[in-house]
Each structure stands twice: as C-alpha cells, then as structure tokens.
Structure 1
Amino acid sequence: MAVENDYRDKKFLIVDDFESFQKILKRMLHGLNVKDIDTATSGSQAIRFCEEHEYDVIFSDLDLGKGPNGLQMLEELRHKDILKHSCIFIMVTADSSRDAVVGTLEYKPDAYMNKPISPGEIQSRLLKCIKQKDNLKPIYTALDQEDFDQALMLCEQEITNKSRNKNWCLKTKGEILLNQERFDEAEQHYQAIVEERPLFWARMGLADVYLAIKKFKQALNLYEECYSENPASLEAYEGAAQCLVSMGNTKGAQSLLERSTTISSRSVKRQKLLAEISRMNNDYDTAAKASRSVVRLAEHSIHENAENELDLADSLSEAALHTKERELKKAYAKEALNTSQATQKKYANQDIKIQAKLIESRAYASSGDDANAQRALESAESRIDRHGTHTLRSQLELAKSYLQTGHKDKGFALLKQLAQEYKHDKAISQRLDKLVDEPVTAQGREAVVKINKEGINLFERGEYQAALDSFSEAVQFFPKHVGIRLNIIQALLFDMKKSGPAPEKIALCKQHIEFVDHIEGGDKQFKRYQQFKNTLEMLQKHGQKETS
C-alpha cells in the first residue's frame, strides 16, 4: 500500500517541452519524497525512455511542440504495449478549451490536471491513483500478461466481496468480455447492471455489444439515450453513426458525426469515418474537409500513412469533379494535384506512386484538362508495366481513372476481371459494385434482383414505408445503382400521394434525384427519372402554394 508522502519506490517521468515547468514539477515531487525522476522534452524522447525503462507514474503536457503531442504519445505507448496497465498517466495542460478537455478525456488518462498546479493537488491525485493501482495490482498484472481468464476471476472476487473497487471491476469485466468477443456473456453482464441501476458506462457497453452482434435498432436506441444525456459522449455519436450506416441511413450518420466534431475534432478515427460516410453521400466538400483533418491530426502519430494522403487527394479530385462553381472546381483540382504530387515525392513505394499518379490523372480530368489527364494516366500505365501492381487499391485506382478519362471499356473490363478474381470475397465484391451504376459481381447482381423483388412486392401491396426501408438499406451497398435510387423515389412519391406531401420526404426525393441526375437520354432509366423529376417539381410547387 502507498504511504502518504512516500513515493521512494516509484519511478517517475515528466514530459514537457518547457524546462522551466519540468523544474517546477520536479521540485514539487521532491517535496513528496520522490527520488527517481526522468525528464523528456518531446513525445519522441519520452517514447524512447519508456522503451528503455518501466515507469510507475508519467506526467505529460498535452502540447509538446514538434513531434507527437501528449495524446499521440499515450496512444502509441498503448498501441505498442509499452505502457503497463499499472502505470499512472497524468495529463497536465494549460489548454482548458472544450475541444482539448473532451478530446483528452476520450483517451482515458488516469488523471487530467490544468496548469498551474499546486503541490497539494499533485499529492491528492497521486494518492488516489496509486491507492487504486496498488489495490488492484493482481488484476493489472493479469491484464499485462494477457491472462484474461485470471483477470476476470480476480474481478469477480472483488465484485463478490463488494470491495470499494467493485464498480471499476464491473466495468473492467465488461470491457474484457467485449474485447474478447464473448458477446453473450457481455450482454448478460451489462444487462444485469442496467436492470439494477442504469449506469451510463453499462448502457454504453450494452450498446457496443448490440452493435457487434448486429442488433442495430437496440444499439441505436441506447446510443441516442446516452448522447442525449451526455452531449460530450463522443463514443455514443460514433456508435449511433455506425448503426445508421448499417441501417442504410448514411445521411443521418453523417449529420451525427459532424455534430460530434463540433464538440471535439481531435479523433483521427472519427474524422476518417466522417470522410468515408460523406463520400457515400456524394458530399465531397465534407469528405475533403474531413480528409484534411485526418492528414493533419495523423501527423507524428501511429495513424500517419500514405493512405490518408491518397484519400485526401481522391476526395479533392471528386469534389472538383462534382462542384458546379468554376473557381471552387479550380481550387479543389489544384489542391488535389498538389497533394498527389507531394505524395509521389514523399513515398518510395512504387504502388503508392502509381496510385497517386492515377489520382493526379483524375484531378486533371476533373478540371477539364484532358491532355494532362491522359499524360498522367499513360505515365501510371508505364510504371505498372515496369513494376506491376501489387495491391487491390492500385487496380481500383486504375479502373476509376479509366472510367473518368474516357476509357470506359478498359475500366469495366478491369472491374469484371477483379470481380472474377475476388468472387469469394464479399467485402471486396461490395467495394467493386460501389464504383459503378450496375453491379459487376455475380453476388451484386443477385443481391440487386433479390432486393428489388422484395421491395417491389412490398410496394405493390401498398406498404410504401416498408418498401422504402428495403430499398434504403440496399443503397448502402449499391450507392450508384440508378434503379434502386429511382425505386426509393417512387416509394416516397406514392407514400406522399397516399398521406400528403411532407417537407422531409420531398427533401429526401430531391437528394436521390441529385444522385442520378447524370444519366442521359439514351439510358434505359431516363424516362422514369424524367417522370419522377417532373412529379417532384409539381409537389414542390404545390407545397409552396400551401405555405404562401
């Protein structure tokens, strides 16, 4: 057990880029009988020290100047299993903004302190943390050794004995079961706690279980309950967004994630998810903005990689292609070119260079520069001839570039070849089908026939909302499928014919019309598209008359 004012057996590390603060904190710790103290002036130096020594307590500033910040350092130490569970990590910062506080707490340091700090405050926090760590040392040791059955048994003993750490053990038990994918046990565990007392963390845990076992509606209800109760619960917004995507409501998912980034914008994972979902919604402006955040936030972290820069260049190229504002188109295309060219210089890997060159060709094409688009495409093809393509992404980028630069036959031929090559891989088949208006995989074609049959049967029985739900779920897997989009519009129009025009349904119709407004007169679906577009315009005029 720790004795007050006696930390002589503990090894400390202070991480701060200001030596003056290091000295102040060191002096305070000496006053608490701390004898063994190391200091680091950067996140990189601190990570090296942690690789060489085992620390009991780490005090770190959030902003550490160049290199990894305090959060990135903590994340890397955990990711590499350098930091033992028994180590106390205390974040100390002068930044008291909501973005910093909420973003830091999401990483779950053992304590969070605002500068300036006093010796009494340090003593109080240290004593509390060390007491808990010492009391639960056998559990932390089991977790460090990845002996999860032992950790569960020890947690159960603490729970049965009703120790002062009972709640921590209940929470830890749930996390272990969830991380070990023992979902039945995790569900029973969290359900029992919620029935006795609806603790916030237990409801979040139960929602995470429901999400994992694909009970999306139950998970969504709990996540919504949690973020309504605690608007700063970023994990609840993210979980709810994942549920909505799985239920086909990508617009709702994007809206939730955008809301969460106004609370704290520091999560690479959440910004990446926002970019991905925005692309599903053809909202390339938001995708580009989120992708910029990913590149900026990932720098110096475990998340830094070429994929982030390629995704940014791709989002910018798509934004340039789809915007109708001339100046904005030029700006997006220029940034896409700069990003793709910088990526080619930064990375030696030939596949990355090829992918960036292919995105460069699409950036030129997006701005109407067909000559340079063709030159960039030919340069990429030349590299492929010399070095080959070793990744699926390179082949997908090539197919996309063929489709956008006027080589549709080559693009479809390559996609069909990939569909055959990856016919037993459901995830890759879905990625291929998302690139084109009609599925190129056998799985995709069969799925569309089945979905359309089910939806049309519901529609013909007058169950318009059920038909709409069926088609909306399908759009998640086939976002460019014109027929499914038109079926959604038809279900909405007939539903409004039955129950009267509704602004939210008119808005949804408009969104889907915009998704398919690229089809031309020779397309087999053009007549339906034109008919539905005219009907929608009449409904909008009718609605305007009623409100005037």
Structure 2
Amino acid sequence: MDRKIANSCRVLIVDEQVLAQGYIKYSLEELGFKDITYVDKANAALKAIEEEHFDLIVCSYNLKKDQDGYYLYDQLKNSHALPLTTAFIFISADTNSELVHSIIELQPDDFLAKPFSVRDLDKRLGKVLKRKQALYPIYQLMDRDEYPEALEAVEDFLTNPDNAEFFPLALKTKGDLLLACGQAKQAKEFYNAIINVQPFTWARLGLVNALIKLDEDEEAEKLILQLAFKPDSQLVAYDLLYGLNVKQQDFEAALEAVLMAAEISPRNLRRHRVAINLSRLVHDYETQFEAAKRIVKFAKHSIHDQPKNYINVARAGIDYAMTADEKDTAVLVKQANEYIRQFQAAFPKSELQEQMKVINARLLYLQDEKDKARALIEQINADIPGAEDLEDLLDKAKVFHALGLHERCQKTLDEIEKRCKHDPEYGELFMRYIQQEKQEKTHILQSPKELNNNAVDYYQKGELDSALATFRQAYTLMPKNPSIALNLLQAIATKAREQGLSDGASQMVKRCIATIENGQLNEEQEARYIKVKSFLQEAV
C-alpha cells in the first residue's frame, strides 16, 4: 500500500458488528489510513455519503438493521449518489452462489471474503486505490456528464506508456464513453478491434450495445445468445436480450429473458417490477402474481419493505382470480387475503382505507356479491385525487369496469396515462400497458368470466358468430387459459365444418393449441380437445 495514498484517503466503514468494525479499523490503521468514519446502518451511510466525499467505502454485504449492503449499493448506483472516483468494496463471510451472482451484477470495485488478513487487505486495497487515482481526472469528467471531454482525456491517457498497467481498464472506459457520446459506429469498430486481439467479455458486451444502437438486431441477438452460456456474462446477456425483445415489441420473449435473469439474481427488485409490467402486457396473470410475491419476499427486512408491496400482491392475486377457473378462484382469493393480513400485521398504523375498499369491492365481485361491491365503491371519492398512487388509480379503474361503470373507468385510465407522461418512474412498459388497458376496456365491456359464460350460451343456442366473437374477446383477455382456448377452438371447428377454415382462423387455431398444450385440462376437456384437434388437422 502506498502510504501517501492511504494518508490522504477518506474512508467510510459500513458494518453493524462492533468486532468487525474494530478489526477493519486496526487493519486500515496498520496500512496508514487515518481519516476513518464508521456507521452501522445503511441509512446512516446514505446520509454520510450525501454530506461528504469518501475515497473508499468498505461495506458489509450482510447488514440487517434497515437494509443490507446489496440494496445500499444498488440504491447508490441507481441514484448516481456514488461518484466513480470513490472505490466501493464489499466484505462478507458468505460466498454462496446467490451472493456471487449479485456481486457480478453490481460490479463493485472489489469483494473480500471474511476472514481476511492485513496482508490481504493491503494487496487488494492497493490495487483498487491505485486504479482510482490513475483514472481520477477521467472519472471526474464522467461524474459531471462531460463525456466528450472524458473521451478526449482517456485517449490521451492511452498514448502514455507510463499508464500501461491501467490500459485494460482505460480501454473498457473508452468503449463506454464512445457509446455515451452516441458514437455507436466508432464503438462497434473499437470493440471489434479489441475482440480480434483478445475476446474480453466486456468488449463483447459493449459490441452488443453498439449493434443494438445501430439497429443490427440479428447480429446482436446471436452474440447475446453466445454470452448467455458464459457464467460471467449470463446475467447481463439476459438483460440485453430483454432490452432487445422490448425494442422489437416481442413482450413474451422479453418476459422470458427477465425471468431467466431474475432466477439467477433474485434480489433485484427492479427486475421483478419489469416482470410485472411485461406479464400485464401479455395477460400472464400467474407470472404477475408470482413476481409481486417475490418483491414482498426479497424486500422484507429492508428499506424497500413497504405497504404497497403487500397490497400489490393482493391486487395481482385478484387479477389472476378474475381469469382463473372456479376451483382456483377460492385458493387465489384466500392467498390475496393472506397478504392483506400480512400487510396489516407489518404496518398496523398504515392508513390505506380507500385502497382497501377498492380491494374488498373486487373480492366481493369475485364472490358474485355485485350489489355489495357497488355499495362499497359508492363510498369512495368520486374525484381523482392528485397525489394518489397510479397503482391505486389502476385498481379503481379495474373495479369500475367490472361493475359496469365504464365512463368512470375510462376517465381514471385517462388520468393515469396523463400522469405517466410526466413521471419517468413508471416507464415505457407501464405506459404501454395503460394504453392497452384503455383500448381493451373501450371495446370489451364485460369481465373475462362474463365473456366466457355468454359465449357458451351463444354456442349452445347455435348463435355461432356471436359465440366466436365473444370467445375471441375472452381469449384476448385470457390467452394463457387452456379452458378458454379450448372453447374458442371448438367454436372455430364448428364454424369450419360449415364454411371451411380461413387463413385467419388457422393462425388462431395454432395459438389456441399452444395455450392448451402448455396448460392443463380435466378429463372431459381432454377428450373434447382430442376430437376437436383431430377434426382440425384433417381440415387443414
């Protein structure tokens, strides 16, 4: 360790264990560090970082008092509160696979497994702080968003042979800056040149980003799929694939990519929120429910543990129950009520009376207590309060629609769309979902179950055109429900007996068969499906 660097370095230690703090303090003082601050909570660390600049932060991954080190660092990075000039090092006694993937994802400057010696600390800190000092002027420019100037500075840095030790990091920084400056074509050429010499993972990932910006999506996807098989790039590859799928508006594929990434690193709450919005777009209510439950699970005992997490699980459970078969509805309602109970136990002083009225009205509707549901809704504020959360408004829109209050539903969705345009927190996917909801709720005035029941009535009365149109609407809202898919398939087959199978109907048949074969049918439905499928195969 360079004593001069250590003497001038301001250090923040974030650890709740007194013995660990003492050992780290002793180790750092042995290495020549003098200006050392200690905190034992993430909130205290956030306050300290906001108030003063630190050159080095040594943080325990396993904080428990308000939020752990993972969420602290994630918050610092995403709020841009941690300058690039500050070195951030995690320490932990755990080295399980989940933690390792989290570390890979967060990319701190280093990670030290406990127990470690003064010699270990000397070696690792020396390298990290030397790197930070060498690129300090470049990082300062990047922290001020002066990317063209930073790019010029890194070019100068790379022309000096004295900096050869830091060339790999400087080259990676150059690639990042080319992309940040909007020079995608130059970035592509740069990354290809690096890869031709040595196929660094960072260069291949950078090349993917350049290709996506240049709309060379096919090449980007090929490279992403290669990177998805490498442990050190798998997580980033799935995130890149998700972004590419969204760009191409293939939301089914985007959801699959996000779920793969969430499986590898489940503590990333933003990824679960993305999964919720994608699930909504593709009407995958089961996945939406599971993603909402994971947010509650992984946010628990952290600063992210909030009443709305539990409320949103109950809402997702109700959404799922609205489209599920009768035997599953009771189970889902029970689970939704359990999360409401957990919310009330965890946050007894929380005042969410209006939100609970809406949820209870939706639960009453599920139990065919429509009059009671309407009476409860009449008690809520008819106006749209300006400070109301958009998820709260969305839940209102859903109950208005279910109870036939279509004008109030559309007015509420209009308000959500208007606020979305001015609130970047909700993002493009949520906006797309709201626009989809507006369109569907304008043209489809009944609930999913009402549609299916009415379509069955039409079919039994021989009103085939009405049955087909209504089954199609039901399938639009429930594309994952095998029972609905089977009913629509049977109606298409009956129509085909009379008039043959049109091209449009053939495409719908394929979709219905995919839904059925990815789901589960009872014995009666299975027998019906075999007959219908056999006829349609002969008709094609």
> What residue in structure 2 maps to residue 537 of structure 1?
533
Q: In the TM superposition, what are the counterparts of 1:391-406 in structure 2 within 5 Å? A: 396-404=394-402, 406=403
Secondary structure in 1 matching 2:266? coil
Is the Cα contact below 8 Å between 1:333 and 1:366 reproduced in 2? no
Is the Cα contact below 8 Å between 2:307 and 2:350 reproduced in 1? yes
Tell me which amino acid in the other structure corresponds to 1:170.
L
- Residues 315-324 or 533-542, more deviating: 533-542
What's the offset of the Cα at 1:347? Answer: 6.2
Secondary structure in 1 matching 2:379? helix
1:193 lines up with 2:191 in the alignment: no
Secondary structure in 2 matching 1:164? helix
Is the Cα contact below 8 Å between 1:399 and 1:415 reproduced in 2? yes
Is the Cα contact below 8 Å between 1:61 and 1:70 reproduced in 2? yes
Residues in 2 aligned to 1:510 and 1:240: alpha-carbon distance in whole angstroms: 27
Residues in 2 aligned to 1:191 and 1:285: alpha-carbon distance in whole angstroms: 42
> What residue in structure 2 maps to residue 315 of structure 1?
316
1:407 lines up with 2:404 in the alignment: yes
CA 1:388/1:263 → structure 2, altered by over 3 Å: closer, same or farther?
Answer: closer
What's the CA shift string for 1:279-318, capped at 9, x where partnerless?
3343323222211222444568786777655543331211
Residues in 2 aligned to 1:170 and 1:353: alpha-carbon distance in whole angstroms: 56
Is the Cα contact below 8 Å between 1:158 and 1:165 reproduced in 2? no
What's the offset of the Cα at 1:25? Answer: 1.6
CA 1:29/1:257 → structure 2, altered by over 3 Å: closer, same or farther?
Answer: same
In the alignment, structure 2 segments of 5+ residues that lack a partner are 423-427, 444-472, 502-507, 519-527
What's the offset of the Cα at 1:375? Answer: 3.5
CA 1:76/1:329 → structure 2, altered by over 3 Å: closer, same or farther?
Answer: closer
> What residue in structure 2 maps to residue 524 of structure 1?
none
Q: TM-score, normalised by structure 1?
A: 0.72
Secondary structure in 2 matching 1:7? helix
What's the CA shift string for 1:401-448, capped at 9, x where partnerless?
1222x31644676489779989x999888434522775859xxxxxxx
- Residues 243-252 or 386-395, more deviating: 386-395
> What residue in structure 2 maps to residue 376 of structure 1?
376
1:142 lines up with 2:141 in the alignment: yes
1:431 lines up with 2:430 in the alignment: no
Residues in 2 aligned to 1:437 and 1:81: alpha-carbon distance in whole angstroms: 37
Is the Cα contact below 8 Å between 1:340 and 1:359 reproduced in 2? no
What's the offset of the Cα at 1:341? Answer: 7.2
Residues in 1 aligned to 2:190 and 2:183: alpha-carbon distance in whole angstroms: 11
Q: In the TM superposition, what are the counterparts of 1:39-50 in structure 2 within 5 Å? A: 39-50=38-49
> What residue in structure 1 maps to residue 72 of structure 2?
73
1:330 lines up with 2:333 in the alignment: yes
> What residue in structure 2 maps to residue 28 of structure 1?
27
Secondary structure in 2 matching 1:229? coil
Secondary structure in 1 matching 2:36? strand
What's the CA shift string for 1:113-141, capped at 9, x where partnerless?
11111111101101111111121121122
Secondary structure in 2 matching 1:255? helix
> What residue in structure 2 maps to residue 472 of structure 1?
none
Q: TM-score, normalised by structure 2?
A: 0.73
> What residue in structure 2 maps to residue 159 of structure 1?
158
Residues in 2 aligned to 1:433 and 1:297: alpha-carbon distance in whole angstroms: 30
Secondary structure in 2 matching 1:435? helix
Tell me which amino acid in the other structure corresponds to 2:331.
L
1:129 lines up with 2:125 in the alignment: no
Tell me which amino acid in the other structure corresponds to 2:285.
Y
Tell me which amino acid in the other structure corresponds to 1:32.
L
> What residue in structure 2 maps to residue 55 of structure 1?
54
CA 1:215/1:384 → structure 2, altered by over 3 Å: closer, same or farther?
Answer: farther
Is the Cα contact below 8 Å between 1:436 and 1:480 reproduced in 2? no
What's the offset of the Cα at 1:19? Answer: 0.1
> What residue in structure 2 maps to residue 18 of structure 1?
17
Residues in 2 aligned to 1:340 and 1:181: alpha-carbon distance in whole angstroms: 46
Is the Cα contact below 8 Å between 2:398 and 2:409 reproduced in 1? no
- Residues 258-267 or 55-64, more deviating: 258-267
What's the CA shift string for 1:138-193, capped at 9, x where partnerless?
11222233322221111112233463322212221222343454444444443443
Is the Cα contact below 8 Å between 1:90 and 1:111 reproduced in 2? yes
